[in-house]
Homo-oligomer: A and B are copies of this chain.
């Protein structure tokens, strides 16, 4: 058996069922071996940023890694931005990067490059598999490394001869890790802090934002008065329905300061101490107030459930089942009926439409940036749904994450809320959606602008922008026609500028199988 065959078989033995690919010559034995292990489905993308973003979306929803297949350092480079986001999301990914044959690199052929250095910048684990006989073990190590905890990008560099040489054996006997994490001292400290003041906050992140963990957190909150906060850009936030709500920290440091103001103890569970996304001249980077104690209970990406349970125990709550769900009494106003919404679209009206139409079980891949400002509050009362956000700030994530989420959960409706500027980094995602017939509704928010940068230009205190500067933030010359763009890659696409049309098109998109694109003309709020 050659290396590639054993590799894919071992991936399957470790529970991996999907490999997102954009292969080249050095990956041809891997590609050929896909037919030997049909349980691992190859999914082609036309650009590597789609491959890596899809693997991120898949991992967030499936809770297990997808594999990737990339072509040398340049293919990896194209995938860097979304690997960065995935690493920040603690998403398990087995990132396979083909390389020249081991003996070929010495001649410095045109595509040779320093793959390992690029890989290390976006991976928690990197290894070059230089020996076919050891390849099964390399794969096991990569899979285990991807699970962590914390979950991470495990990059396995695969020289072509390691793939094509014979003598490999697939490995089995793998079992999924079931990690625990608990730090008793930190829990004691948190419990004491919660007893000492009613002006506390729990800041939750990474895997603390599942329904089960939010129920635990909500009970702690109810017993102690502690405010429930979550990180600004959660990898996966379960919300709506009977899931207890949690207030997201704002993107703007000014807003975050308000949210943290007056907090005596900030108890951090699976998140990091709040910092400003960017630095601004003369403003604080570190946003925990000076008068606030920071108590770090679980580092980001490590398991949080045991700590939440222990914390609840230690503040003497009963954990009887009937005390389980507390509901979400502090939720927002009632959702409007879809038929009541009318008018020329703006950001508020857009959010109302989303709130009024979001189906049960939906997955929102949210890269709506400024145009989506009002969506979170407008969807508080929606049925249960999951939100995936821009964890690492590298834009171009929303559409590929939608691809991966739909692959992981074919029966759930996926809604990509996508800004025009951000969409263009990985617009090739639409093609893979069409090819695989994925149930994705892509809403492109077209305001002809990198709107967030118009705001940031002012916030960083740069001089008044002249025409040259403004032109770097404007993307309306020429206007991008997203309907033509969607159609060019085989996706039924329409443009709407009225709320009632958006209601109708969303309804249609959710009721028909396969992907749809709705270009939505929402003027910039900036």
Contact = CB atoms under 8 A, between A and B. Distances in A.
Interface string A402-445: 00000000000000000001001101100100110000000000
Interface string A163-184: 0100000000000000000000
Contacts of A73: 80, 84, 121
Nearest to A88: B110
Contact of A279 (B31, B104, B473, B481): B104
Interface string A460-492: 111111111101110101111111110111100
Contacts of A457: 28, 31-32
A490 B435 CA distance: 26
A266 to B, nearest CB: 15
A42 interface: yes
B425 A462 contact: no
A186 interface: no
Contacts of A453: 23-25, 28, 31
A525 interface: no
Contacts of A452: 25
Contact of A113 (B84, B275, B425): B84
B160 A278 contact: yes
A278 B459 CA distance: 50
B435 A428 contact: no
Interface in A68-94: 72-81, 84-85, 88
Nearest to A106: B285
Nearest to A115: B121
Nearest to A463: B32
Contacts of A108: 272, 275
A286 interface: yes
A121 B118 contact: yes
Interface of A: 21, 23-26, 28-29, 31-35, 38, 41-42, 44, 46-47, 49, 72-81, 84-85, 88, 100-101, 103-104, 107-111, 113-114, 117-118, 120-122, 160-161, 164, 233, 272-273, 275-279, 281, 285-286, 391-394, 396, 421, 424-425, 427-428, 431, 434-435, 452-453, 456-457, 459-469, 471-473, 475, 477-485, 487-490
